[in-house]
A = this chain, B = another copy of it.
Amino acid sequence: MKNIPLILMGCGGVGRQLLQHIVSCRSLHFTQGLCLRVVGVGDSKSLVVTEDLLHEGLNDGFLLELCRVKSVGESLLKLLDFGKCQAFVHPESQGKILEIAFQLGKKTGLVFVDCSASSDTVAVLKQAIDMGCCAVMANKKPLTSTMEDFKKLFIYPRRIRHESTVGAGLPVIASLNRIISSGDPVHQIIGSLSGTLGYVMSEVEDGKPLSQVVRDAKSLGYTEPDPRDDLGGMDVARKALILARILGHQINLDSIQIESLYPKEMGPGVMTVEDFLNRGLLLLDKDIQDRVEKAASNGNVLRYVCVIMGSRCEVGIQELPKNSPLGRLRGSDNVLEIYTRCYSKQPLVIQGAGAGNDTTAAGVLADIVDIQDLFP
């Protein structure tokens, strides 16, 4: 039986879903000779740790109670009443995490699972990796900070996995890494990596005004609470940066040309969300409609995509053939087209839901299972 100790950082929707997946996959993993032992779970404020680090994980009842406690917005400290654990609060929790990394990292291996959405985890992750730990990440932030941080995280490239940072559970990173290992040169990647923007662009293609489509998307729960967080393109740019860096481009977020779907004058510092939705957006309808019509007159459609080609990496609206995998995209699926020597005329295409806690957590779990070979 292979025993893989884990520390989970972040107990938001993805983190909680991951814990539930781990519990419900116990017997499946057992038949595969695998035991995932969650030794600690932390959020931005506190950390709970199993009492017997070397032998026992937090038990399944405890993990499910943890999910319940966090889903109703309570503190991890609440769990001290519930079961055998130690609890630490920030900033002591950081020190404790590194102590565990030191204790387990070299000896048995330890996987740091980052399901937070914070830039603050990068310091801990770098130190843990230095101490022989592995990292599995759904969090894009540490991978999209400086090149120096990125290089430190990838100092042992086999020990870090981050499938769910791009396209949630879609096998994007795994496939790209396979292409790279096989020496097949990547000529171009073009992808629609935001479910929200995918939906928006395919709806405006049908002639609906942008303002209405965005309001619909918001009421369908497709957007962030402030839809400008999607429309600004920063989330897509982070994904593009991760792909570009995997391809070996030593670039930063600020070297990516990002087209925002709203002008600075409608930014969060200037307009309230309500104002933007009810007033600002209306002013953008005409321009998008004109562009849609112009594209249609060329037999094309508009898609909000990332394009990585040579040293070029940009994010924004592109006019694409209606009759291509990206052009045919409808709704909120992600689509990635990868052009290589092997896939030169027709790209390798990966398509499917690219968001959602369930899918994202599934991608994280597959990464964890995948690094088992590194464990004794």
Contacts and interface: CB of A to CB of B under 8 A. Distances in A.
Interface of A: 21, 24-25, 28, 32, 157-158, 163, 169-171, 174-175, 178-179, 181-184, 325, 328, 331, 333, 341-343, 346-353, 356, 358-359, 361-363, 365-366, 369-374
Contacts of A359: 342-343
A179 B169 CA distance: 9
Given A32-B157, A371-B373, A182 B21 contact: yes
Contacts of A356: 342
B362 A352 contact: no
Contacts of A181: 32, 365-366, 369-370
B362 A179 contact: yes
Nearest to A371: B373
Contacts of A175: 171, 174-175
B182 A169 contact: yes
B182 A25 contact: yes
Nearest to A157: B32
A175 B374 CA distance: 20
**This chain: how many copies in the complex?**
2
B342 A346 contact: no
A358 B373 contact: no
A358 B345 CA distance: 14
B362 A184 contact: yes
B21 A183 contact: yes
A166 to B, nearest CB: 14
A299 to B, nearest CB: 16
A28 B248 CA distance: 12
Contacts of A352: 343, 346-349
A157 to B, nearest CB: 7
The 4 A-B pairs of least Cβ separation, nearest first, read A373-B373, A181-B369, A182-B362, A348-B352
Contact of A333 (B21, B346, B374): B346
A169 B342 contact: yes
B325 A179 contact: no
Given A175-B175, A182-B366, A183-B362, 10 more contacts: A21-B182, A24-B183, A170-B348, A171-B178, A181-B369, A182-B363, A331-B346, A342-B359, A342-B362, A348-B350
